[in-house]
């Protein structure tokens, strides 16, 4: 029996085989992006800006590179970084080094306001750092409320939209629970204003390990000139740029169909987990976490592995314990989820039999 793998985060099943990307004469320019943008980079960045509803965008090697560049432009004598405590770790890697940094409770706007009011840097300009779609609980951040806080205090909202880009869109319905277009969390807003800056990896929704920075034209121009990674690091290679263009093309042509398929898989998983009495978290996200009653996560993982099913154990910032984690993609079939459900049922039955009586 073929193994079932629930560990890939290529949500829409985009794999970009080399035969579809075409040949190239030069893999990399060998020059930093600040000096030479590779062929196609401007066109891909412009399409991302349109997709997310922003004025301009740039490509970056990764979200780590992108956040470093954003920090270099945003920080100053009047700034303070205000970070959602459950933000994805990469943002913490960058901003936790700032001497002017405070945390606020996950998605808690009132706590954000109180933290700003009590801060030693209360009169400083806040840079509110958050995920657009939480990788743990699968809930969208209250971006409009954050934007109002930023506007009232002269700050900005810096969003890691890696989980939402290519997945979340505008005007969700019963037929399209993820919405349409795949523009990410910004697509859920009535309008995108100058307070919004968006860093996104394309690795999840579009299957490409390259990132973008999108936002107001003046800010993007400053990053273009001053971003340290753009000055000291090579630009994304031509393979990544072509794969990004291919991913955007698929998103335009059949992205909504793929998202409907993913939503159907999520619906099936919810039915299975409910039948088994599992405690779950994950919301809209294809990344779903769960506990099996009276079973340690490692024991469940071993049981699944014995049945050729791969899962992982994770503990996101908004969870209080490690949980078994599966990631659904459009490569999966409903039968894969049914097989997972049957394996979990066997584990529960085998480990929770009533004790024999003499």
pLDDT of 50 reads 98
pLDDT classification of 352: cutoffs 50, 70, 90? low
In a domain, 311, yes or no: yes
- Does the structure show a pLDDT above 50 at 358? no
CATH number, residue 235: 3.40.640.10
Note whether 66 and 98 are same-domain residues.
Answer: yes
- Residue ranges of alpha helices (H) inside the chain are 18-21, 41-52, 63-74, 89-95, 109-118, 143-153, 217-226, 228-232, 238-276, 297-306, 334-351
- 336 occurs within a structural domain: yes
Round to whole Å and give the CA distance between 195 and 186: 12
Q: Residue 308 has what DSSP assignment? A: T
Residue 153: how many CB atoms within 10 A of its CB? 19
How many independent structural domains does the chain possess? 2
The pLDDT of residue 121: 63
Strands 323-327 and 312-314, by their bridges, are: antiparallel
Q: How far apart, in whole angstroms, are the C-alpha atoms of residue 98 and residue 181?
A: 36
Both 212 and 279 in one domain: the answer is: no
Domain enclosing residue 185, as ranges: 18-252
What's the rounded Cα separation, in Å, for the pair 322 and 296? 10
Q: Which pLDDT does position 1 carry in this prediction?
A: 74
User: Both 304 and 215 in a single domain?
Assistant: no
Q: Is the pLDDT of residue 84 over 50?
A: yes
Average pLDDT, the chain: 94
30 pLDDT higher than 50: yes
pLDDT above 60: residue 354:
no
Query: Does residue 172 fall inside a structural domain?
Result: yes
Instruction: Give yes or no: residues 324 and 283 share one domain.
Output: yes
pLDDT over threshold 60, residue 355: no
Averaged over 335-341, what is the pLDDT? 98
pLDDT for the residue numbered 349? 86
Of 237, 252, 267, the one marking the end of a domain is 252
Picking from 169, 250, 236, the residue whose alpha carbon sits closest to that of residue 207 is 250
Last residue in a domain, options 189, 221, 252: 252
Q: Is residue 292 predicted with pLDDT exceeding 70?
A: yes
Residue at 356 is within a domain: no
Q: Could you please report the per-residue DSSP string of 5-35?
A: E-----TT-----HHHH---S-S--SSBTTT
Domain boundary among 208, 225, 252: 252
Higher pLDDT, 331 or 117: 331
Same domain, 248 and 259: no
140-180 pLDDT tens trace: 999 999 999 999 999 999 999 999 999 999 999 999 999 99
pLDDT at 356 over 50: no
Decide which of 10 and 353 is more confident: 10
Are 183 and 68 in a shared domain?
A: yes
Q: Are residues 172 and 218 in the same domain?
A: yes
Mean pLDDT over 105-118 rounds to: 94
Q: Could you tell me if 259 and 195 lie in one domain? A: no
272 and 247 fall within a common domain: no
The answer to whether residues 235 and 263 belong to one domain is: no
pLDDT at position 211: 98
Between 78 and 204, the higher pLDDT residue? 204
Answer for the pair 189, 227: CB distance below 8 angstroms, yes or no.
no
Q: Which of 302, 294, 348, 301 is nearest to 325 (CA)?
A: 301
Q: Which of 128, 91, 251, 242 is nearest to 183 (CA)?
A: 251
Would you say residue 357 lies in a domain?
no
Q: Is 40 helix (H, G, I), strand (E, B) or coil?
A: coil
pLDDT of residue 123: 74
Q: What is the pLDDT of residue 92?
A: 93
Do the domain assignments include residue 355?
Answer: no
- Give CA–CA dist 173/104, Å, rounded: 32
Q: Are 341 and 239 within one domain?
A: no
**Statement to judge: residues 106 and 210 lie in one domain:** yes
- The domain spanning residue 280 has which CATH number? 3.90.1150.10
Q: What pLDDT score was predicted for residue 353?
A: 56
Distances (CA, A) of 58 to 50, 165, 221: 12, 15, 9
């Amino acid at each position: 029996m073929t193994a079932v793998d629930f560990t890939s985060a290529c949500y829409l099943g985009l794999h970009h085989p080399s035969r579809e990307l075409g040949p190239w004469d030069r893999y990399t320019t060998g020059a930093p992006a600040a000096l030479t943008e590779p062929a196609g980079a401007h066109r891909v960045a412009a399409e991302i800006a349109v997709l997310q509803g922003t004025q301009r965008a740039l490509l970056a090697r990764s979200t780590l590179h992108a956040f470093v560049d954003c920090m270099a432009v945003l920080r100053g004598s009047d700034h303070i970084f205000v970070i959602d405590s459950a933000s994805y770790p990469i943002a913490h890697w960058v901003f936790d080094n700032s001497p002017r940094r405070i945390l606020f409770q996950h998605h808690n706007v009132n706590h954000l306001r109180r933290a700003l009011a009590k801060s030693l840097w209360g009169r400083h300009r806040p840079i509110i750092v958050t995920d657009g779609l939480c990788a743990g609980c699968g809930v969208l951040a209250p971006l409009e409320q954050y934007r109002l806080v930023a506007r009232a205090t002269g700050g900005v909202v810096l969003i890691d939209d890696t989980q939402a880009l290519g997945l979340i869109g505008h005007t969700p319905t019963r037929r399209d629970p993820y919405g349409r277009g795949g523009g990410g969390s910004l697509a859920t807003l009535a309008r995108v204003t100058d307070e919004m800056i968006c860093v996104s990896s394309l690795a999840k929704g579009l299957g490409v390990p390259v990132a973008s920075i999108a936002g107001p034209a003046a800010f993007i121009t400053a990053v273009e000139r001053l971003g340290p990674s753009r000055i000291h690091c090579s630009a994304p290679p031509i393979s990544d740029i072509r794969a990004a263009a291919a991913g955007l093309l698929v998103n335009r042509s059949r992205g909504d169909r793929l998202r409907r398929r993913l939503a159907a898989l999520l619906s099936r998983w919810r039915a299975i987990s409910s039948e088994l009495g599992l405690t779950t978290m994950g919301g809209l996200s294809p990344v779903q976490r769960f506990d099996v009653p009276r079973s340690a996560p490692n024991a469940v993982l071993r049981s699944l592995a014995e049945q050729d099913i791969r899962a992982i154990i994770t503990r996101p910032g908004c969870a209080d314990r490690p949980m078994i984690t599966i990631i659904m993609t459009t490569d999966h079939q409903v039968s894969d989820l049914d097989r997972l459900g049957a394996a979990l049922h066997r584990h529960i039955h085998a480990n929770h039999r009533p004790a024999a009586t003499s």
